[in-house]
Amino acid sequence: MESTGDSADMNTVSGRKDKRRLIRLIAMFFIFLPLIGYNSGCEAGLGTIPEPKQVKLGGQQTSIGPDSDLKIPSSVISAYPAAVSRFQGVLNSLSGANNVPITVNIFKEKSEGNLSKDVIAALKRKEGYYIEVRNDGIRLIGADELGVLYGLTTLKKMAVKWGGNIPRGHVLDWPDHKYRLLHITVINLTVKDAKDLIVKASESKFNGLIMEIESGWTELSSLRVQPIRKPELEKPLTKEDLKVILRFARENGLEVIPELKLLTHQDKFFRRYYPELMYNEWTYDPGKEETYSVVLPVLDEIIGIVNPRAFHIGHDEVAGADPTKKRILNEGEEALPPELFLKDVLRLHSYLKERGIETWMWGDMLLGKEEFPEMLQRHLHGASGYADLRGRIPKDIVIVDWHYADDQSAFPSALAFAESGHRVLGATWKKEKTIRNFSRYVASMPSGGEGMVATTWAHVPKKEWAVVDNIIGISADAFWNAR
């Protein structure tokens, strides 16, 4: 019996030790849980789009919130008031205690101390930024004003992710492409739609918007066109609507490049309202001087509204030039000869250049199938002598080289444009493999690769927002992190 009692006492002692050990283990678990969670998540990335290039954050936290002293350069506030306001709105919504100051600066190498060589190198890249989270505050340094904007965007997402209690450490980031552009059309577009798209593009670190201004969807006094008014569709945009959209885009860090479909795809513009100026049912006639009495006033009016640095003149898919294309001309009609195509490009380029405006255009008509057998053939339309024009296009025209469904990793068409002396923008649509491969290829070009364009085409007019969001998300990451 005594031995049984001793055994029971020993069991009791052992049980107490096990219980204390368990309590200690539980306590340690909760002490180190934040460290485990944050380290495992942060070292891999923030889970944002696009992902920053370098994220090194630890378990100790620094709180920001409404009481944080936010100091932002006045030039950034005046340039991007909408984006800064969104950041302040998130800050005001947080409930963190012991809020620390947030100091934002534009990089000046001589005045920034305690920065590593890697940080300095990154901040010498346009639009780069550095975020340092310390116990006594957060420091954000942008390479320039856009770098500050992108740093604020990332810091805002960090604040939302951790409820204002941000792990300490740093984030270092920069873009791999100079231009990261979103392409939209104004068909069936409202001001609210446009603003929503602009916010998404800005938050995804796009820095430009190509806005295709369609005849019939904008009230331009220079057009002999009645705006489309169907009860099931949105009202056409007025000039004031366009100005509101343009101002909002700029306040969110997006340069606006207008596009007008010129020469080709004229079934809803010239064919409907100026049939006497058509070369065939799809293409207006550059051989008639009267054609430019219509085109040039439209250019002037759009330029007056947008005040752009560059203008996209279209010029894709000349009907009938490529016999493999489905678009068939009427019996007796001929495709526009290459020389008239070139005449129109030169006329428009000269007109824009006189006004200090850069010309952009699509590049498919300047690419021959036989030149690029490894590429998807249906997007190479330079048949019937059109590809021979490539070397005759003015060198200061930016070529937008579009490919939407290629599977290969190389896009030698872009290199061919660069070798002919042009700057090149790659353009993609919604196929992820094409988006990532083309973006990597353009970023790796030795020269001439200026960046990328994400097109949305009919998905915006149809308000297929899930598809548009997917295009923006994939493209944003592929364009920012292209190397």
Q: Which residues, at least 6 apart from 143, have a Cβ–Cβ distance to it below 8 Å?
A: 106, 107, 122, 123, 124, 125, 126, 127, 128, 129, 174
Residue 157 domain-assigned (yes or no): yes
Among residues 173, 206, 236, the one where a domain terminates is 173
Among residues 150, 173, 196, the one where a domain terminates is 173
List C-alpha distances in Å: 172 to 129, 154, 155, 454: 6, 10, 11, 25
Q: What is the pLDDT of residue 230?
A: 77
Q: What is the pLDDT of residue 112?
A: 65
- pTM of the model as a whole: 0.90
Peptide bond into 50 cis (omega under 30): yes
Whether residues 77 and 203 share a domain: the answer is no
CATH of the domain at 168: 3.30.379.10
Total number of domains constituting the chain: 2
Residue 62 domain-assigned (yes or no): yes
Q: What is the pLDDT of residue 39?
A: 34
Whether residues 155 and 234 share a domain: the answer is no
Q: How confident is the prediction along the chain (483 residues), in pLDDT tens digits per residue?
A: 333 344 444 344 345 545 455 444 443 333 333 333 333 334 557 989 999 999 999 989 999 999 999 999 999 999 999 999 999 999 999 987 778 999 999 999 776 668 999 999 999 999 999 999 999 999 999 999 999 999 999 999 999 999 999 999 999 999 999 999 999 999 999 999 999 999 999 999 999 999 999 877 888 888 766 666 777 889 889 999 999 999 999 999 999 999 999 999 998 788 888 999 999 999 999 999 999 999 999 999 999 999 999 999 999 999 999 887 755 788 889 999 999 999 999 999 999 999 999 999 999 999 999 999 999 999 999 999 999 999 999 999 999 999 999 999 999 999 999 999 999 999 999 999 999 999 999 999 999 999 999 999 999 999 999 999 999 999 999 999 999
| Paired sense of beta strands 165-173 and 208-212, if any | unpaired
Whether residues 242 and 370 share a domain: the answer is yes
Q: What is the pLDDT of residue 225?
A: 61
Whether residues 127 and 192 share a domain: the answer is no
Whether residues 461 and 356 share a domain: the answer is yes
Whether residues 377 and 444 share a domain: the answer is yes
Q: What is the pLDDT of residue 44?
A: 55
Measured between alpha carbons, how far is 392 from 421 in angstroms, rounded to an integer? 10
Whether residues 450 and 362 share a domain: the answer is yes
Whether residues 205 and 324 share a domain: the answer is yes
CATH of the domain at 331: 3.20.20.80
Find out whether 150 and 205 touch, Cβ atoms under 8 Å.
yes
Among residues 118, 144, 173, the one where a domain terminates is 173
Find out whether 65 and 96 touch, Cβ atoms under 8 Å.
yes
Whether residues 122 and 240 share a domain: the answer is no
Residue 9 domain-assigned (yes or no): no
Whether residues 353 and 426 share a domain: the answer is yes
Residue 11 domain-assigned (yes or no): no
Residue 22 domain-assigned (yes or no): no
Print the domain residue range for 78.
Answer: 42-173
Measured between alpha carbons, how far is 323 from 186 in angstroms, rounded to an integer? 31
Residue 33 domain-assigned (yes or no): no
Whether residues 201 and 128 share a domain: the answer is no
Residue 2 domain-assigned (yes or no): no
Whether residues 222 and 114 share a domain: the answer is no
Residue 21 domain-assigned (yes or no): no
